[in-house]
Amino acid sequence: MTETSTAPETTAIRTDLLIGGEWQQPAAGERMDVTDPATGEVIGEVAGATVADVDAAVAAARKAFDDGGWSRISGRERSRVLLRVAALIRERSEELAQAESPDVGKPIMFTRMIDVPTAADQFEYFASLAQHLDGAVRETPLPAFAFTRREPRGVVAAISPFNFPLILSSSKLAPALAAGNTVVHKPAPQTPLSALLMADILREAGVPAGVYNLVIGPGPELGDALVRHPDVDMVAFTGSTAVGRIVARTAGEHLKPVAAELGGNAANIVFADADLDKAIGAVINAFVFNTGQFCMAGPRLLVDRSLYETVVGILGNAVGGVPLGRPSDPGTVIGPVASRAQLERIEQMVQDAVAAGGTVVTGGHRVELDGGFYYAPTVIAGLDNDAVAVKEEVFGPVLTVQPFDTEEEAIRLANSTPYGLAAGVQTGSISRAHRVANRLEAGIIWVNGWAMLDPAVPFGGVKASGWGRESGPEALESFTRSKSVIVTIDPEDAA
C-alpha cells in the first residue's frame, strides 16, 4: 500500500486504485506525478491505471450491483450511509481543503468555504431524496392495476474534470449512489487527490465493497474504455464540449445514456437601470472566481451603451486590486490556473484578441510568482462579436466587454454563441428580469448576482453546453430509469 505526502500539514493520502473495496497497485505498476500549479513542482505521485484496471473496476461494480447489497436495499438504508459520508466530509474538512488547494491551485479560502461544504451538502441532500424514490399509480381503463417504479440504471461511469474535482465528483457520486447504482469513478489525472480522500471516506462510511471504485489515469484511454465497456450502463461526464461530443458519439454506438455538463461561455448583461455597484461586484466575481476556470463563469460582459465607458473605466481600476497570490494565503482570491498548458492557451487567446483589434484595459500578462502558472485578471474591450475570445471559452480570468443599444440586441448577442450553460441579468426592473431570462438560451440564469448554487437547484446546459442536470431532484431522475408494472385484476379475485 503506497502513501505519499501532498501539501504541508495534510495527512498522508493513499495513492493507489480502489477496486472491489481494496486498495490495489495498478496492473502495469505505473505511477503519475501530481504537480502544484502554484509552483510548477511535483508534490507527489499516484497510481496510473490502464484499461486492465478499468476492466477490473467495472467487473467489481457489476458484481456489487448484481449482488444487490446496495441496489436492492431500501432507500432509507442508503440514506443512512450517505449521511455518514457527509458527516465524515465535515469531520475531515481541513484535510480535504488542504489537499484540494495545491492540487488545483485553488485559494485555500475557497476550498474551505465552498468546495468542501458543498460536497457535504450534496451528500446530505441526496441522502434525503434516497428515501423518496417513488413511482406513481396510473388510472387506466384496463382490467389491471398500473404503476411505475424508479430503479437504478446499474453501473455508472463518473468522469469528472480538473477545475472543481471535489464538487463535480460529489455532484455525480451522491445522486448515483442515492439511486442505488454502483460507480466507477475516473477523476482528471491532473487533480486526483480529493478523489483519493473521498474513496477512503466512502469506505469508512460503510459503502459496500465494489459499490464505489476509483481508477486514475490518462483521460482519453481510460475514458474511452469506460464509455465503451459493455457492463457500463450510464456515463456521467463533465468536461469540454469537444470531448463531450466524443463521449456522446461513443456512448450512442452502444445505446447507453449520457448526462453531460459541457463547456460554457456565459454572457452577463448589465442594463442601464442596474444598481451599478452591485452589478460590478457580480461582473468581477463572474470571471475571476476559480481563476476563471469555471464552466458557468461569465467571461462575456454586455453593457448598455450609456454605461459602457463608465463600466470599462471602473473595471480598469478595480480588477487589478483583486488579491492574486499563493493559494495558501487566506486572503488570496485569484490563484494560478491549473496547468502550464492552460496558461499558454490563455496567453495565446489574449494575444489573438489584441491582434483582432481588442484593447487590453487591464492585465493581459503572466504574473511571475514562485514559478507558478499565474495570469493577471484581464479585461478586453473593443472586440467584434466574431472574435475568438468572444465566441470561444477562454477558461481563465479574462473578460470581454461589448456595448448594446437595445434589450433585443442584448438578448441576440447573449444567445449568439453555441453555448448555453449560464447567463446573468443585472437590472432594477423585475419585469425586464423575467422578460429577458425567459428568452436567454441557458440552463441557469442569475438575476442581480452570479454563481449562486445549491444542491436543491438543478444546473446544466442547452445547445453545446450539454444535456441532463446535476443537483436537484432532476439529477436523481437522471440516475434512474422508469419501469411500468401492469397487474391484471382477475374478476374473481375482485369479487
Instruction: Write down the pLDDT at residue 141.
Output: 95
CA 251 vs. chain centroid, Å, equals: 20
| DSSP code for 85 | H
Instruction: Write down the pLDDT at residue 12.
Output: 77
First to last CA, the chain: 66
The class (CATH top level) of 3-262+461-483 is alpha beta
Long-range pairs, 133-141, Cβ under 8 A, ≥24:
133/75, 133/179, 133/180, 133/476, 133/480, 135/482, 138/484
Instruction: Write down the pLDDT at residue 146.
Output: 96
DSSP-assigned beta bridge partners for residue 212: 183
- What nine digits make up the cell of 425? 441579468
CA 259 vs. chain centroid, Å, equals: 12
**Nearest alpha-carbon partner for 420 in 403, 396, 447, 439:** 439
Low-confidence ranges of the chain (pLDDT < 50): 1-10
Q: Are 395 and 342 in contact (CB under 8 A)?
A: yes
Helix (H, G, I), strand (E, B) or coil at 441: coil
Instruction: Write down the pLDDT at residue 4.
Output: 37
Instruction: Write down the pLDDT at residue 39.
Output: 97
Q: How far apart are CA 441 and CA 419, in angstroms?
A: 8
DSSP-assigned beta bridge partners for residue 24: 17
Positive or negative, the CA dihedral 283, 284, 289, 291 is: positive
DSSP-assigned beta bridge partners for residue 487: 145
Helix (H, G, I), strand (E, B) or coil at 174: helix
Q: How far apart are CA 302 and CA 149, in angstroms?
A: 46
**For the chain, domain boundaries:** 3-262+461-483, 267-447
Q: Which CATH architecture has domain 267-447?
A: 3-Layer(aba) Sandwich (3.40)
**Nearest alpha-carbon partner for 289 in 279, 280, 301, 298:** 298
Instruction: Write down the pLDDT at residue 408.
Output: 98
pLDDT 10s digits, 5-35: 334 343 579 999 999 999 999 999 999 999 9
Q: Are 208 and 114 in contact (CB under 8 A)?
A: no
Instruction: Write down the pLDDT at residue 53.
Output: 98
Instruction: Write down the pLDDT at residue 144.
Output: 95
Long-range pairs, 68-76, Cβ under 8 A, ≥24:
69/208, 69/211, 70/177, 70/180, 70/182, 70/207, 70/208, 70/211, 71/152, 71/180, 71/181, 71/182, 72/180, 73/180, 75/130, 75/131, 75/132, 75/133, 75/178, 75/180, 76/130, 76/131
Q: How far apart are CA 73 and CA 65, in angstroms?
A: 11
Q: Which of 100, 124, 261, 393 is catalytic?
A: 261
Query: Strands, E, within 239-337: which ranges?
Result: 258-261, 267-270, 300-304
| DSSP code for 11 | P
| DSSP code for 463 | G
Residues 6+ apart with CB under 8 A from 26: 16, 17, 47, 48, 49, 50, 53, 217
Instruction: Write down the pLDDT at residue 3.
Output: 38
Query: Strands, E, within 95-230: which ranges?
Result: 137-138, 144-152, 155-159, 182-186, 212-214
pLDDT 10s digits, 184-217: 999 999 999 999 999 999 999 999 999 999 999 9
309 is catalytic: no
Helix (H, G, I), strand (E, B) or coil at 264: coil
Q: How far apart are CA 351 and CA 330, in angstroms?
A: 32
Instruction: Write down the pLDDT at residue 243.
Output: 96
Helix (H, G, I), strand (E, B) or coil at 415: coil
What's this model's pTM, rounded to 2 decimal places? 0.94
Q: How far apart are CA 11 and CA 193, in angstroms?
A: 11
Q: How far apart are CA 238 and CA 373, in angstroms?
A: 23
